[in-house]
């Protein structure tokens, strides 16, 4: 009987540990609070639009929209802990030299943004009247960054 009860308790603890190990996206806000999005076995869809971050799940219509100024950073809890940035394309007319990015052929006055992988905005500029833009990256630390220009998003690695 004792072994049976221990087996039941063991199964319960294993089940609880499995539930606790699910992927959770934790968004840490600048006011000190957190938003949590339970992902289970799916990856979130994170998009940037203007000064907003939209986070949604592929399997549902649930969407979380936050101001970028309100988000300090986000991270994952549980699961495998692996993350990636997929589905990016390199904008035509973009030249990345490691310490500088230049653009040509953008619509005049269009915005160019440099984000950290945590969603924080590091730099921005506007294209001039000829559609050219230039960003000096020397002040950024080495790492992976997201470049958004003219509705095209790509990732770069500054070494």
Residues 118-130 have pLDDT tens digits of 888 999 999 999 9
Nearest-Å Rg of the Cα atoms of the chain is 21
Q: What angle do CA 110, 122, 46 make, to 5 degrees?
A: 75
Assigned architecture for domain 2-77: Roll (2.30)
Beta carbons within 8 Å of 35's beta carbon, 6+ residues apart: 26, 27, 29, 64, 66
Taking the whole predicted model, whether its pTM rises above 0.85 is answered as: no
What's the rounded Cα separation, in Å, for the pair 67 and 21?
A: 29
3-state secondary structure of 73: strand
* 24-40: pLDDT as tens digits: 777 778 888 887 777 65
In the chain, where the domains are located: 2-77, 94-158
For 94-158, the fitting CATH number among 2.160.10.10, 2.60.40.1120, 2.60.40.10, 2.40.50.140 is: 2.60.40.10
């Amino acid at each position: 009987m004792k072994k049976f009860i221990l087996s039941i308790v063991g199964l319960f603890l294993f089940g609880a540990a499995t539930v606790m190990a699910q992927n959770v996206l934790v968004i840490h806000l600048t006011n000190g609070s957190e938003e949590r999005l339970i992902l289970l076995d799916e990856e979130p869809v994170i998009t940037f639009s203007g000064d907003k971050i939209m986070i949604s799940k592929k399997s549902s219509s649930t969407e979380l929209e936050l101001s970028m100024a309100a988000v300090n950073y986000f991270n994952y809890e549980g699961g495998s802990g692996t993350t990636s940035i997929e589905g990016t394309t390199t904008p035509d007319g973009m030249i990345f030299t490691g310490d500088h990015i230049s653009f040509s052929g953008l619509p005049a006055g269009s915005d160019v943004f440099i984000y950290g992988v945590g969603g924080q905005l590091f730099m921005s500029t506007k294209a001039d009247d000829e559609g050219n833009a230039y960003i000096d990256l020397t002040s950024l630390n080495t790492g992976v960054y997201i470049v958004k220009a003219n509705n095209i998003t790509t990732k770069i690695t500054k070494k």
